[in-house]
Amino acid sequence: MKAIIITGTPGTGKTVLAKALAEKLSYSCVDVNKIIAKYHISEGYDEKRKTKIIDTKKLSKSLIKEISSLKKTKVEGIIIDSHLSHYLPKKYADLCIVAKCDLKTLKKRLKKKKYHKDKIRENLDAEIFDVCLEEAKQGGHKITIIDTTKGIQINRVIKKLNL
């Protein structure tokens, strides 16, 4: 069973990409929010940053548990879509996709999602500094960058992934 993780700044198109890949490859998508609820990982809500407080070590442990139980099923592959997915130790991920898009597009997308302007700024900065990409690199993941600015052509993406 292959495990693909998709990370990237919020709004860069992880979920759109995950769904398209899952459909084309007949993989299952792992819903990280469900895992956070199932394993009681959230340690409260950060009001200022408008985000759940997540212990990334606990999340990784829970993801490992999910992966091992899915390995016992017939599922051919799984896709884990979350801006925290790259915290999974590299030995559990065959590939780490980092979704990216240009800043103007990202700003538009986050505005459409009705994010507060401070949150938009925070995410634009995260994209400028390539926080997810740099952390994924530090984790030693095998990385493929997919730019979603102009949309994705799923067949081209799959070719690039070289699975």
Ligand X SMILES: Nc1ncnc2c1ncn2[C@@H]1O[C@H](COP(=O)(O)OP(=O)(O)OP(=O)(O)O)[C@@H](O)[C@H]1O
| Residue 77 binds which of ligand X, Mg ion, none (CB < 5-8 A, kind-dependent) | none
Asked if 73 and 83 touch (Cβ cutoff 8 Å), the reply is no
Yes or no: say if 27 and 2 are a contact pair by the CB < 8 Å rule: yes
DSSP assigned state of 27: P
Residue 15 contacts Mg ion per CB under 5 A? yes
As a whole number of angstroms, the distance between CA 96 and CA 58 comes to 19
Q: Is residue 16 close enough to count as binding ligand X by CB under 6 A?
A: yes
Nearest distance, CB of residue 11 and ligand X, angstroms: 5
Show contacts with ligand X in window 59-98 (CB under 6 A): 83
| Residue nearest to Mg ion as judged by C-beta position | 15
Residue 75's φ and ψ, nearest 5 degrees, are -60, 135
Residues that bind ligand X (CB under 6 A): 8, 10-16, 83, 99, 109, 148, 151-152
Residues that bind Mg ion (CB under 5 A): 14-15
